[in-house]
Chain A
Amino acid sequence: MITVTDITSAYGRKQILRGVSFTAQRGECIGIVGANGCGKSTLLSVLAGTLKPSAGQVLYYGRKAWSDEETGRMRGDREVIRKMTGYVPQENPLIPELSVYDNLRLWYPDKRTLQQEMEQGFLHLLGIGEFHKKKVSKLSGGMKKRVSIGIAMAGMPPVLLMDEPSAALDLLCKEDIRRYLQVYLERKGTVVITTHEESELALCDKLYVMKDGRLRQVDSGLRGEALTDKL
């Protein structure tokens, strides 16, 4: 369960997030849409702990990830964030010179766990076992994205944060990613996803539009022009 309350964030003098609040329950998928540069990635960075917000509070399953309540100064608990969230950034966090297996080893320090995951766990579901010996630099965009999701899933976090996971991927890959998300949600995981893809929007239980750093909930069934008009 995620509780985000009045999060604000700024780059220098420019205010990016202005009092963003929302909640997400277990097994729920939260979709965030918005024009380029509206602050979607910034919000996900805050949730993932890679960017410190100026004010507000983020709770994961009741545990404080970011909070300025006690001291008036923003404090983050990296341990909570690390254990509770898996983050799939837009850019793939991979070392191109290494093989897929070596890249995964970084995030799955336990060799046996990694092996199990590849044989029958989530990594198996992502199809990573088929190309785990390949060098990352030789992979297609879709394969790289699968590995990125696999990395985010290390330790099976209850919250998955995905920043436009389907951008620049072919239809087949998009469909694959949608299926993985569905499985994750069925296993009672919580997903926060920023996307423009209708197939992914179809998975969302709640849909938010971000505009000028503010988040506004809209009907999750909105599509096409009706949704574009809200951006």
Chain B
Amino acid sequence: MKQRICYLYMEIRKTCKIIPRVILQAVLLMAVIGLLVVGGIGSMKRDPLAVSVDIAVAAGEDNIMTRMALGYVENMESVSHLCHFLQVTEEEGFRMLKKGQVAALILLPEQLVEGIMNGTNPQVTVYFPKNAGLETMLFGELTKAGEGLLRVAQAQIYGAGDTAVEYGLTESISQMEGEIDSYNLAFALDRLALFEAEQVSVFGALSIVHFYMASGIVFFLLLAGMALYPVVQREPAAFSLQMERQGAGIVWQCFCQWFCGLVCMGLLAAIAWAAFSTAVRCMPDSVARQLFPGQSGGAAIGLRIGTAALILITVTTFLYMLYSLAGSRTGGVLCIFLLSVVMVYLSGGLVPSLFLPEPVQAAGERLPTAYLIQAAGAFVTGREEMLGGQCLLRLCIYTAVSGAVACFMRCKVR
């Protein structure tokens, strides 16, 4: 046992001597990644996505009722964010449609409002351009929705009217129509009252900032592993055998090296996190709050520490396995770089996996990086639900398998 402890102590001493070099390399790496991130953020910095659909409206007559109806539709909650109606003449409307200046042209017939009121329903014609773009498609959908609403509203009015006539309540028809109108206006046309707002994001439950923070952490840790070689490199075979003679077997030797690698990675991660936190403190409060939404308290801190430990253990074991498989510094570094990029990409860490082909998505979901990003998400947000039991189990399995493969390779090569 004394020999084993002594070996662990020596490995730690060796790591302490190497660590300044490892940190220097990692700092350089951080600087490069930082520059890339700053460049990326700069190029992405623009106003939030604003879709404005210009619609040309040509009214057959310019009466107050038509203008009121148009104004009402334009100010509707669901339309006002998206559509901008331009009152034009019919010729002007067609010209604008041809030039692609508007997404659609609506031709309103004469006596439109009166027709709706008296049930003759004059036809409204909507022209879309041939090669419809996103705006046109959007307006098309809105039109369909509006048409559906109108159809239901008219059915209600006619149904109520017919029923009233059948039961001899003709004097109540106008009152009933008024009430139906007010209900429609209060509920059917107010989308917020009818539909539950649900935010759907390609980043899942994470915000875009947190998602890229999570994938950035995983990517950084994997790439930082390129500097880890001196710590986890194979000792000379003669040394390994001599140690085994002394009672410190190959598994113990692997454990000691892995442990030193873990300490090293932990230190690197702590330095990187400290640097990041310092940078965040220098940012405006609104940005800082966006990055760290304020999950605090013992549970969140405990979760963060636990998740960080899990991520570090998994990443270190994975890196140790790669170095053991590669057998040399060049091979290991190349292997880590290529695998990190490919795996993070396949797991949707660079481009959200929803935008990737389905087979790639399916493959990416099974990679350890997918679960590492998920765990890093829990670390960043401090939200427990981000780290599911399956994620935890998978990471433990990946760690165990990587460790076993690394030990096997070291035994085999020796």
Interface residues of chain A, those whose CB is within 8 Å of chain B, are 45, 48-50, 78, 81-82, 87, 89-95, 97-98, 102, 105-107, 109, 151
Output the least CB separation between B251 and chain A (Å).
15
Output the least CB separation between A86 and chain B (Å).
10
In-complex Cβ contact of B230 among A93, A94, A97 (8 A): A97
Interface size bracket, B side = 20 to 34
Output the least CB separation between A141 and chain B (Å).
14
Q: In terms of DSSP, what is the predominant structure of the interface of chain B?
A: helix
In-complex Cβ contact of A98 among B3, B6, B13, B246 (8 A): B13
Output the least CB separation between A180 and chain B (Å).
19
Output the least CB separation between A98 and chain B (Å).
6
Q: Which residues on A sit within 8 Å (CB–CB) of B236?
A: 91-94
| B81 interface contact, C-beta 8 A | no
Instruction: Knowing A89-B238, A93-B236 are in contact, say whether A82-B246 is a contact too (CB < 8 A).
Output: yes
Find out whether the CB atom of B14 lies under 8 angstroms from the CB atom of A95: yes
Complex CA–CA separation, A102 to B230 (angstroms):
17
Find out whether the CB atom of B242 lies under 8 angstroms from the CB atom of A93: yes
Q: Which residues on B sit within 8 Å (CB–CB) of A49?
A: 245
In B207-246, the 8 Å CB interface with A consists of 230, 235-239, 241-246
Find out whether the CB atom of A90 lies under 8 angstroms from the CB atom of B238: yes
Show 8 residue pairs from A and B whose CB-CB distance is below 8 angstroms, ordered by the A residue.
A48-B245, A50-B245, A82-B247, A87-B245, A95-B235, A98-B13, A102-B10, A105-B6
Find out whether the CB atom of B245 lies under 8 angstroms from the CB atom of A106: no
Select from chain A the residue with minimum beta-carbon distance to B233: A97
Find out whether the CB atom of B6 lies under 8 angstroms from the CB atom of A109: yes
| B99 interface contact, C-beta 8 A | no
Q: Which residues on B sit within 8 Å (CB–CB) of A45?
A: 241
Q: Which residues on A sit within 8 Å (CB–CB) of B237?
A: 91
Q: Which residues on B sit within 8 Å (CB–CB) of A78?
A: 245, 247
Given contacts A82-B246, A93-B242, A105-B10, 12 further A-B contacts (CB under 8 A): A45-B241, A87-B242, A89-B241, A90-B238, A91-B238, A93-B238, A94-B236, A94-B239, A95-B14, A97-B17, A97-B18, A151-B242
Q: Which residues on B sit within 8 Å (CB–CB) of A81?
A: 245
Complex CA–CA separation, A105 to B6 (angstroms):
8
Instruction: Knowing A91-B237, A93-B238 are in contact, say whether A107-B17 is a contact too (CB < 8 A).
Output: no
| B7 interface contact, C-beta 8 A | yes
| B2 interface contact, C-beta 8 A | yes
Find out whether the CB atom of A98 lies under 8 angstroms from the CB atom of B14: yes
Find out whether the CB atom of A109 lies under 8 angstroms from the CB atom of B3: yes
Output the least CB separation between B4 and chain A (Å).
10
Q: Which residues on B sit within 8 Å (CB–CB) of A102?
A: 10, 13
Select from chain B the residue with minimum beta-carbon distance to A50: B241
Complex CA–CA separation, A97 to B235 (angstroms):
11
Find out whether the CB atom of A95 lies under 8 angstroms from the CB atom of B239: yes
Complex CA–CA separation, A166 to B14 (angstroms):
29
Complex CA–CA separation, A185 to B109 (angstroms):
119
